């Protein structure tokens, strides 16, 4: 196992400790960034860290990350050096919280243990013999999905945490995650998320999708939250192109106008966002106008 893998595993664990008190402080994030520069790591590694920076790491996942790092620490003194870095980072804001102290002790116990258990062994202890689907939650976060379909990434994370039954058809869940993400791009284009538009999205999903109400509500919740943070139009459009038929693309653009005009207004920013999505999906100007016309009567 190379130095690059070791450093990446260390950085993930540093992020996990920073989350211990429920918030990553600016000083902690800066410490991690300085280490990235010191290690000479590239954007690909930073992308691998992003899912961990996005949402908190729980106790079980933090222990799994510690077990993963332990596999890289074979040289004498390496574990002590890592513990020193973790303690330094936790104290970067001049305040080591009780939660951070507890997290450090958890990691110290894992790293100082002489049991050659490794990551899978640690998971078996955590979950008992057959770790099954629940254990896979702690084997890592899907960087590719995070980068290319952030709505799907969040949906999968919430499904793995029992927020709704796991969807049987991953491809269809991905389709509706992209569909919802593009609706979200339009809803937030004027920098406001209007309740009428959220309700219109709920109506559109009920009428058009093959999701049950529980999964639809989860899509709406995730899209509403992620839209406020910012979603990448290019990646959403490219993903939707791969999974959709020409008819489904025209249907999407019609739904974009449906949602955008739900509050009886169509701000220029929302109109241009729909245009950008439509042209990105390969619709002609005529098809764009045909999708818009049925909803012009709603406008004040």
The predicted-structure confidence for 84-98, as pLDDT tens digits, reads as follows 888 888 887 778 889
pTM: 0.72
| Residue 128 confidence (pLDDT) | 44
Residue 76 pLDDT class (50, 70, 90 cuts)? low
Residue 149 Rama label (left phi>0; alpha psi -120 to 50; beta): beta
Residue pLDDT, tens place only, 165-205: 766 578 888 999 999 999 999 999 988 888 999 999 999 99
Give me 73's structure tokens. 């620490």
| Residue 114 confidence (pLDDT) | 65
For residue 251, count other CB atoms closer than 10 A to its CB.
16
3-state secondary structure of 244: coil
| Residue 160 confidence (pLDDT) | 78
Domains and CATH numbers, the chain: 3-136 (1.10.3680), 146-298 (1.10.3680)
d(CA 142, CA 132): 18
d(CA 42, CA 33): 12
3-state secondary structure of 181: helix
Nearest to 259 by CA among 122, 22, 267: 267
Residue pLDDT, tens place only, 236-251: 999 999 999 999 999 9
Which of 88-92, 98-102, 133-137, 274-278 has the least mean pLDDT? 133-137
């Amino acid at each position: 196992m190379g130095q690059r893998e070791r450093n990446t595993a260390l950085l993930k664990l540093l992020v996990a400790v920073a989350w211990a008190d429920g918030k990553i402080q600016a000083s902690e994030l800066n410490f991690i960034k300085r280490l990235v520069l010191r290690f000479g790591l590239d954007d690909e590694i930073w992308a691998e860290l992003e899912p961990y920076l996005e949402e908190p790491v729980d106790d079980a996942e933090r222990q799994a990350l510690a077990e993963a790092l332990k596999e890289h620490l074979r040289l004498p003194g390496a574990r002590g050096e890592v513990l020193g870095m973790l303690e330094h980072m936790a104290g970067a804001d001049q305040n080591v919280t009780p939660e951070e102290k507890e997290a450090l002790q958890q990691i110290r116990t894992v790293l100082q243990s002489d049991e050659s258990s490794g990551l899978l062994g640690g998971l078996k202890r955590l979950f008992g013999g057959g770790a099954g689907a629940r254990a896979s939650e702690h084997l890592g976060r899907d960087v590719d999905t995070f980068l290319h379909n952030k709505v799907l990434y969040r949906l999968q994370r919430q499904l793995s945490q029992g927020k709704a039954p796991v969807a049987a058809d991953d491809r269809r869940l991905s389709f509706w995650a992209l569909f919802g993400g593009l609706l979200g791009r339009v809803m937030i284009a004027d920098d406001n998320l209007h309740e009428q538009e959220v309700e219109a999205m709920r109506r559109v999903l009920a009428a058009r999708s093959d999701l049950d109400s529980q999964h639809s509500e989860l899509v709406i919740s995730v899209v509403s939250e992620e839209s406020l943070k910012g979603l990448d139009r290019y990646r959403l459009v490219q993903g939707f192109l791969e999974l959709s038929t020409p008819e489904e693309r025209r249907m999407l653009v019609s739904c974009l106008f449906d949602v955008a005009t739900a509050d009886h207004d169509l701000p220029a920013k929302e109109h241009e966002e729909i245009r950008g999505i439509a042209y990105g999906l390969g619709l002609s100007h005529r098809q764009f106008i045909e999708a818009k016309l049925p909803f012009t009567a709603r406008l004040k």
